[in-house]
A and B are shown apart, each in its own frame.
Chain A
């Protein structure tokens, strides 16, 4: 066989594999859009559910998800970032820090239902926050910490050592150096990690199942100590728990959830490319 023919075959196989990866995603998207789109309208997005969820909108679930995602990020981003800075810029390389790193990598792989149970024990019961937005957001934050820390450590580590060296040689303190010569150049990576974990927080059901999610609430939550509805759980309920829900509503709910997650990911990509263009080395 000629080399060019071999090459063509190799490319064809590689291409096929790529298609196999992408195809199911596109297929799911197509099904969700096709079936869900007709049911999406202003009323669906902005009104409360009615008639035992069989009619009306999903407004409280959308708002609940937004509350949960924002509050959990408020906890996880600063804590994760500072932990990453400590690990990458300050911590000595010893048994303890190696152990911490190992723990973080492993925590990133723990199934989300485990975080849900942890949240139940820790926040709902032990700290007596009850089944509440606070408990749910904290649980999601804990789940996301390893992802944020790992992404941030990588982003910090990718900033050349020479930046730190120059900065110190010009008299900057350790913190000034991190603040002005390291962090600005690590932001794209940090943001990417943060936004990907946001998307995960928006989409997961298990961590919120025992800690915050409500089957149905007649009004929006008033404080962080109230329960809330949330999109993934709502989708789970209307898909499995209540018979006779119009097919369209399920797909429309799924579409909204996918849409939120998807736009967050797109947002991450845009921010990253923006920063990349500005700061190259």
Chain B
């Protein structure tokens, strides 16, 4: 059964249509990559899944997006809060708050009133452990997160997202600010995390998609051209446009 299912999803920014009849099924506890040239709507699609597009004025959607069989596009504020608890997000630029490491991680817990103060320590430890930062940082939990390296910051942002125990983690080009070694280590981490989470990653980098994902969707001008097993997309694409893109004919 699909974890996320979109049915004839259309999205407009004002009069500009950014998503056109997107149909896809994201499987649970796998890594799904979304690739495509700049401006094709990857981030837009990703941000539908936690309704971040709601923040932008003049956005209109049509169609259905179901997570665990629930249509997420309708629903009042409390359902939106629940959705964002269930679907965490990691952004392109590592963006911890200029607070301590500890405060960064408990931010979401406080928002959702998820845990009592006594449990915070344990949750912080677990979150940092799962992003492999605990050993490095356990003695400086109360120092400012902005002292960390870029890679550590991005790990911290992942820890912040998973501290509220989501099912799904959305990542929008999470490695584009990082060097190749850091990128490799974050990819390693993603493979580790998919045991517990359903991950969707938007990436510019086809090699990254090929390396890390189980399924891949290729987007072009707002359409999801092809969606399949990553192996299949990269070895036997069905659509001419996909083939052109992965063989580098789109640049």
Interface string of B86-112 (1 = CB under 8 A from A): 001101010101110000000110111
Assign chain A's interface to a size class. Answer: 20 to 34
- The answer to whether B97 and A166 touch across the interface, beta carbons within 8 angstroms, is yes
* 11 extra A-B contacts, CB within 8 A, seeds A168-B55, A171-B111, A181-B97: A165-B52, A166-B97, A166-B157, A169-B84, A169-B91, A170-B84, A170-B107, A170-B164, A171-B108, A173-B77, A281-B98
Which residues of B have CB within 8 Å of A2?
none
In the complex, 11 of the A-B residue pairs with CB atoms within 8 angstroms, ordered by the A residue number, are A92-B57, A162-B95, A166-B97, A167-B111, A169-B88, A171-B112, A172-B111, A180-B107, A180-B110, A280-B144, A280-B146
- A263 contacts the other chain (CB 8 A): no
Which chain A residues in 121-169 approach chain B with CB under 8 Å? 160, 162-163, 165-169
Which chain A residues in 170-193 approach chain B with CB under 8 Å? 170-173, 176, 180-181, 185
Given contacts A92-B57, A168-B52, A169-B88, contact A280 B77 (CB under 8 A): no
- The answer to whether A281 and B146 touch across the interface, beta carbons within 8 angstroms, is yes
- The answer to whether B89 and A169 touch across the interface, beta carbons within 8 angstroms, is yes
- A8 contacts the other chain (CB 8 A): no
Given contacts A173-B81, A181-B97, contact A166 B91 (CB under 8 A): yes
- A279 contacts the other chain (CB 8 A): yes
Considering the complex, give the chain B residue whose CB is closest to the CB of A92: B57
Which residues of B have CB within 8 Å of A176?
111
In the complex, what distance in Å separates the CA atom of A92 from the CA atom of B56? 11
In the complex, what distance in Å separates the CA atom of A54 from the CA atom of B99? 57
- The answer to whether B93 and A162 touch across the interface, beta carbons within 8 angstroms, is yes
Considering the complex, give the chain B residue whose CB is closest to the CB of A181: B97
In the complex, what distance in Å separates the CA atom of A185 from the CA atom of B77? 26
- The answer to whether B52 and A171 touch across the interface, beta carbons within 8 angstroms, is no
- B161 contacts the other chain (CB 8 A): yes
Which residues of A have CB within 8 Å of B80?
171
Assign chain B's interface to a size class. Answer: 20 to 34
5 smallest A-B Cβ distances: which pairs? Answer: A171-B84, A170-B108, A169-B89, A281-B98, A162-B95
- B30 contacts the other chain (CB 8 A): no
Which residues of B have CB within 8 Å of A181?
97, 107
- The answer to whether A185 and B85 touch across the interface, beta carbons within 8 angstroms, is no
Which residues of B have CB within 8 Å of A172?
111
- B160 contacts the other chain (CB 8 A): yes
Q: In whole Å, how far is B166's beta carbon from the nearest beta carbon of chain A?
A: 10
- B50 contacts the other chain (CB 8 A): yes
- The answer to whether B81 and A165 touch across the interface, beta carbons within 8 angstroms, is no
Considering the complex, give the chain B residue whose CB is closest to the CB of A163: B97
Interface string of A248-281 (1 = CB under 8 A from B): 0000000000000000000000000000000111
Which residues of A have CB within 8 Å of B98?
185, 279-281
In the complex, what distance in Å separates the CA atom of A167 from the CA atom of B88? 11
In the complex, what distance in Å separates the CA atom of A172 from the CA atom of B84? 9
Q: In whole Å, how far is B236's beta carbon from the nearest beta carbon of chain A?
A: 36
Which residues of B have CB within 8 Å of A166?
89, 91, 95, 97, 157, 160
Which residues of B have CB within 8 Å of A163?
95, 97
Q: In whole Å, how far is B88's beta carbon from the nearest beta carbon of chain A?
A: 7
- The answer to whether B161 and A165 touch across the interface, beta carbons within 8 angstroms, is no
Central interface residue in A92, A166, A279, by most chain B CB within 10 Å: A166
Considering the complex, give the chain B residue whose CB is closest to the CB of A177: B111
Which residues of B have CB within 8 Å of A168?
52, 55, 84
In the complex, what distance in Å separates the CA atom of A280 from the CA atom of B96? 12
Which chain B residues in 93-136 approach chain A with CB under 8 Å? 93, 95, 97-99, 107-108, 110-112
In the complex, what distance in Å separates the CA atom of A180 from the CA atom of B243? 47
Considering the complex, give the chain B residue whose CB is closest to the CB of A168: B55
Interface string of A59-95 (1 = CB under 8 A from B): 0000000000000000000000000000000001000
Which residues of A have CB within 8 Å of B82?
171
In the complex, what distance in Å separates the CA atom of A281 from the CA atom of B148? 12
Which residues of B have CB within 8 Å of A162?
91, 93, 95
Which chain B residues in 150-182 approach chain A with CB under 8 Å? 157, 160-161, 164
Which residues of A have CB within 8 Å of B107?
167, 170, 180-181
Which residues of B have CB within 8 Å of A170?
84, 88, 107-108, 111, 160-161, 164
In the complex, what distance in Å separates the CA atom of A170 from the CA atom of B162? 10
In the complex, what distance in Å separates the CA atom of A170 from the CA atom of B169? 11
Q: In whole Å, how far is B81's beta carbon from the nearest beta carbon of chain A?
A: 5
Which residues of B have CB within 8 Å of A173?
77, 81
- The answer to whether A171 and B97 touch across the interface, beta carbons within 8 angstroms, is no
In the complex, what distance in Å separates the CA atom of A169 from the CA atom of B108? 9
